[in-house]
Structure 1
Amino acid sequence: MRITLRQLQIFSAVAEHGSTTAAAESLALSQSATSSALNELEDLLAAQLFDRVGKALLLNDSGRMLLEHARQALDIVEDIENAFSGKRDGQRQFRIGASTTIGAYLLPELLAAYNALHGDRIARVSIANTADVAAAVANFDVEIGFIEGPCHVPGLRVEPWIRDELVIVAAPGNEEALRSRAAPATPEQLAEARWLLREPGSGTREAAESALIPYLHYLEEGGQFSSSEAIKHACAAGLGLACLSRAVVADLIALGKLVEVATTLPPLSRDMYLITSRKKTLSPALESLLGFCRSWSREMRSTA
């Protein structure tokens, strides 16, 4: 058997793009050369790696099993080439997945701080909800994941990263409707409110439900949005209450467009997590980034 790295690279590109035409464009190859390499790989393995659905190529079970090994092999080769080519280690491209709050409000600052210490690094960041980021790490689509809720995907290393403060916010007019001027809102009053929530699978939604349902028993949904940014603006427009990270709403609170609702609930918070695949061999560059992420979170806790 003579599997080549080029075949694995082409296979990985087809898996990512879903067709030989798109994979060929990404690799600057002809479509015929890409199809030929894929067919040769399937012949060598005596296995079909994709299900052909019209013009689309969808990974089957054999393809998903190979993809894990192919991406590990390609990552290792890239690390070897960087080590011996005279390139600065900063040219190593990190593939990072982050759920929305982390990707928008924490990750840019983290990467900027890392670059300041280690020289400019290239990061390809994918933003999705917690469930999709965990799946991307498991499928080797990304090397490191940052998520905002519990991880339900097996085979991953999961470590607590940052403790995030959650706050209940409302538009100024809605906040006064919830409570009297003299007393914080009770769970009974909060249970009568309409809540703006993320979609199922979102760590932000899971965190809000985990924090509130033990006290309110039920959340009446006033709207479902695919981003926390959309929720906070809908909340400022008076559509309902929201339970979000303080990092997300701090700007609108400062502008007076949102108010933090005083309640009789205990302080609300959630854990954010750092995840990697147990099957992945971590390169020195990735180990360096992970170590920096851990120390950065400790610094944040010490200054909080």
Structure 2
Amino acid sequence: MAKENHSLTTEFILIGFTDHQLLKTILFVVFLTIYLITMVGNLGLVALIYMEHRLHRPMYIFLGNLALMDSCCSCAITPKMLENFFSKDRMISLKECMAQFYFLCLAETTDCFLLAAMAYDRYVAICSPLQYHTMMSKRLCIQVTIGAYIASNLHSMIHIGFLLRLNFCRSNQIDHFFCDILPLYRLSCTDPYINELMIYIFSMPIQIFTIATVLISYICILFTVFKMKSKEGRGKAFSTCASHFLSVSIFYICLLMYIRPFEDGDKDIPVAIFYTIVIPLLNPFIYSLRNKEVTHLLKKVMREYNILKQTSSLEN
């Protein structure tokens, strides 16, 4: 009877970072700057890959979709977080909560598949260069990308469906800056055992499969590179893989948060900042600054833009 008398929560309060006014202002400026740079960097990379036909190759198609998902991740989390720095109630409805987690889960799961596909692409390019266009055709690339989106959408919908079975009556305060799945489990007055089981049934196999794909691809790449007699060839191969391997390493280190016990919430916010805010910021710079082709085309676009701007000013 006591359980039945509990009122069910349909709105939550995102406690966030701090109540100190000066610190909130500083954090707002910092995260707003990061958000703007993230959106410009990722959407700029998407636009560059879309406009330049020379970049319509599997590696860059995967990279463009990775940048698009990083933008989706930032849009799902950061605007609400920025609003809450100066909001009095810091409320978020259950529907907004579900939408926020859906898009986050969609973006992160798609990133897993895309990073694995990019590792396979590098494996084929370095280990079987003569068969590259057969083994990694544009058609296969598009099919893999579409498959990644479909699988990620189903994965997100499964978790949302099981989240909706939970009743929240313990508290309406989420000790976080967005609606992540683990803080929601801790607020549930329904046993989240089945939800936790779904993470092990669906999320863990995705991580194991994609991590295994990345590791096997890079082990094969290393064996091939060490067999190369030319130092220049080895240097070029390492340079080609370095940016992708760096991005993969950062991404999967952050996803280790789902392996630790569900009750341990001490590291939720620091880890979440890294995989929802820092990684989307870093990825376009990691791939652009270390990729000579992207850097060259970016400089070309900037030169053409400056020429058009100067021509327009002279005409006026």
Where on the TM-score scale, by shorter chain, does this alignment land: which range? under 0.3
- With normalisation by structure 2, the TM-score equals 0.23
Greater helix fraction, Structure 1 or Structure 2: 2
Higher relative contact order (CA 8 A, sep 6+): 2
The structure that has the greater radius of gyration is 1
TM normalised by structure 1 equals 0.24
